[in-house]
Chain A
Amino acid sequence: MNSVLSNKKAICIFVIPTLALFFIIVFVPIVVSSYYSLLDWNGVGRGAFIGLKNYVEMFTSTRALNAMKNSLLFAGASIFIQLPISLLLALILASGVKGEGFYRTVYFIPVLISTVVIAQLWSKIYNADYGLLNTLLKSVGLGYLAQDWLGQTSTALAASFVPTLWQYVGYHMLLMYAGAKSISKDIYEAARIDGASSARIAFSVTIPLMKPILKVCLVFSMIGALKVFDLVYVLTNGGPFFTTEVPSTLMYTTIFDTYRYGYGSAFSVFIIVECLAFTLLINKFFKTE
């Protein structure tokens, strides 16, 4: 077996099927989209080549810039709100609380549910007429706070952040939990003998040793936020008045509602480049540290 695995030809043969599949369903579409993004094309017949005009339009349109701003806010919320919560939960669970397995499963359940279901669930929670949130506020005497959460420009964006943050807390928690659990017990024992408190152990031992997994979580969370689509699409469809629009929902509307395949493709290219750039940035950041 070892001799097979060290044979370079064999490696190539084993790698080719996956590589070919990846190439056809990921790489080729990206190249094709990049080409489409240079066209003025309505999806039927031949498109006209217009160079970078779609990109110029994208970076000058207030609607598109607003969508980009929203996705960056989304990414910020994921990193600075979602990940710390996940980390806290992971550390608590990993420290061996009672019912560890039970809580781990409970926090992970939202991840297993389809995003569309989550979005429907939350749109019912936010519903202005019979929603859980407004009913709750009214029943505890905070009725003046009850409002149409997803229907007004002031609250819609924040309200649409919450479900995704909530859904993926369990996912990142599980990754971090596994990371924390894989740290050798000996190190903890040594720390205890040195008289370190639980908080001290968490900050000086666990978190530094979890750096590789934290990087993975950061990348996943960042990319997930930048390309979020299904949740926003179901929850608000970018409304009201584009306040919750993100590049992917704008891309969808552009292509399927206004038949501008070229301009829509420019958005898809933008999302890919954006995700790649941030991944590289995060990798670099972790390397220099």
Chain B
Amino acid sequence: MKGIIGKTAGVVLALGILCSTAACSGGSSQTAASGPAAGSAAAGGDGEIKLALWDQSVGETDPTAKILPEVVSQWNKDHPNIQVERTGTTGEQYKTKIKTALAANEAPDVFYGMGGGSFMQPYIQAGNVLVLDQYVSDETKSKMRSGMLSGCQVNGKIYTLPCYTHLANLYVNTALFKKAGAKVPTTFDELLEAVTKLKAANITPAVIGEKDRWPGMYWFDIMAMRQAGNDACIAAFKDPAKFNSPDFIEAANKMQKLAKAGMFNSSMFSMSYDEMLAAFNAGNAAMLFQANWVNAGIEDDSSKTKGNVEVVIFPVFTDGKGKASEFYGGGQDGFYINSSTKNPKEAAEFLTYLSEELGSKGYLAGAGLPCWNTDSLDTSKLSTLDKTDAKLLDTGTSFITWWDNILPAESAEIHKNLIAELLASKITPEDFCKQMAQLKATELTF
């Protein structure tokens, strides 16, 4: 019996190893087939160039998922010699897929990279991504909105082109403000005043879905930017010790002051992001600080607040260094080119076309705010909120994207947890800043 068990174990072990190696090789050969081998290797032939494109726009409700195939097929029609083959993979899987492919040097010619954050940073530093400076003409540059290209640069070199962007602003339910006799705030004192009036009228001044923690982070981050100014924030990302300074302590102090004044819903720690939007759209709160992706929900026919919501810039602090033209958001999600592509010129040409088309068409479909000139576009069908956001974008002089994209993953988590503790008054503004000073510096270059 012992012998049999031993044999069985041996066979099982061998089988296991066989299966796992088979699985491995199966996986990699598949990646290879859909990598540049399928794209640029097939280039020779009859002078036709093939480019492989990978993206993550496959969601049913994602406006980009509709536009992207249209843009690609239009390009293929116009350029019979440069054919683009598109492969879409859903979000989280896409991240794994592109990471693996880049590490194995089997990435496609053109691919989507979660931009404006730490996602692409290691690959840019490792030289996996093509520098685009020589391929981007001045004409292309002139079509972009000012400041948009800087977000695509790392160490002064262009690695991607912008498509569209998002901006966080203050959403105000004017009907509720009117009912409470409050004025839409433009300064911190006015904000406090509005909170008192709204509270007196039994209206929740603002909602936060703090169960998910990032909605609260948006509030603190904009307040820190208003108090310390964007430049000081950027300096602090590079050297977190600078978070332990009077400006950031004052920002934390103001945040706690608002929380103590009853600005936020008492149920914030059990409310999720989705519930927060539902509550605001149902008219249960007067203010919301979020990015323009909430526009569609507010303007939806099912929303009670439709037509009553205005989007305004976050109040300026009279004692702060931040200006009204400094915005939270403005990060860019863009496409990148593999540095080992065989047809860099054609790939760059396609990238330019794709980015511009996606940027303008995506804006019209409500996917995001445009990074390109929109003068020639028919914007009559866009909602007022979208148009106002686009106008606000034009007034921007400085943008800082979501802090949890800027900070390294673990520090970003700590940052969000600390803000939750600040909101619950479990921590003093001084301790908050002391702990913020312990974070790791950003890996991004500004």
Contacts and interface: CB of A to CB of B under 8 A. Distances in A.
B211 A239 contact: yes
A172 interface: no
B24 interface: no
Interface residues of B, number: 35
B8 A240 contact: no
B269 A15 contact: no
A253 B212 CA distance: 12
B420 A45 contact: no
A6 interface: no
A113 interface: no
Contacts of A126: 270
Contacts of B15: 16, 20
B270 A151 contact: yes
Give the size category of A's interface with B.
Answer: 20 to 34
Given A20-B12, A24-B16, A253-B413, A236 B103 contact: no
A195 to B, nearest CB: 53
A24 B22 CA distance: 13
Given A258-B413, A259-B409, A129 B426 contact: no
Contacts of A239: 211, 213, 269, 420
A20 B204 CA distance: 59
Q: Which of B7, B16, B122 has the most CB of A within 10 A?
A: B16
A20 B11 CA distance: 9
A106 B265 CA distance: 38
A44 B128 CA distance: 15
- Secondary structure dominating the interface of A: loop
Contacts of A45: 103
Interface string A223-243: 000000000000011011100
B12 A148 contact: no
Given A9-B4, A237-B211, A241-B424, A151 B20 contact: no
A140 interface: no
Nearest to A44: B99
A187 interface: no
B270 A148 contact: yes
A149 interface: yes
Nearest to B426: A241
A257 interface: yes
Contacts of A24: 16, 19-20
A230 to B, nearest CB: 16
B271 A151 contact: yes
B138 interface: no
Given A23-B16, A24-B20, A239-B420, A15 B271 contact: no
Interface string A26-47: 0010000000000000001100
B421 interface: yes
Nearest to A15: B8
Given A8-B4, A24-B16, A258-B410, A240 B420 contact: yes
A239 B417 CA distance: 10
A127 B8 contact: no
A8 B4 CA distance: 8
B267 A16 contact: no
A148 B266 contact: yes
B65 to A, nearest CB: 24
Contact of B413 (A127, A150, A241, A257): A257
A152 B269 contact: yes
B15, B267, B284: which has the most chain A beta carbons within 10 Å? B267
Interface string A133-162: 000000000000000111110001000000
Nearest to A234: B272
Interface in A197-249: 236-237, 239-241
A157 B195 CA distance: 32
Given A16-B11, A151-B268, A241 B4 contact: no
Contact of A236 (B8, B211, B268): B211
A16 B12 contact: yes
Nearest to B207: A129
7 contacts: A44-B99, A128-B266, A150-B269, A240-B210, A240-B420, A241-B426, A253-B413
Given A236-B211, A241-B426, 11 more contacts: A23-B12, A127-B267, A128-B266, A128-B267, A148-B269, A150-B269, A151-B270, A151-B271, A239-B211, A241-B421, A260-B410
The 4 A-B pairs with the shortest beta carbon distances in the complex, nearest first, are A151-B270, A128-B267, A151-B269, A150-B270
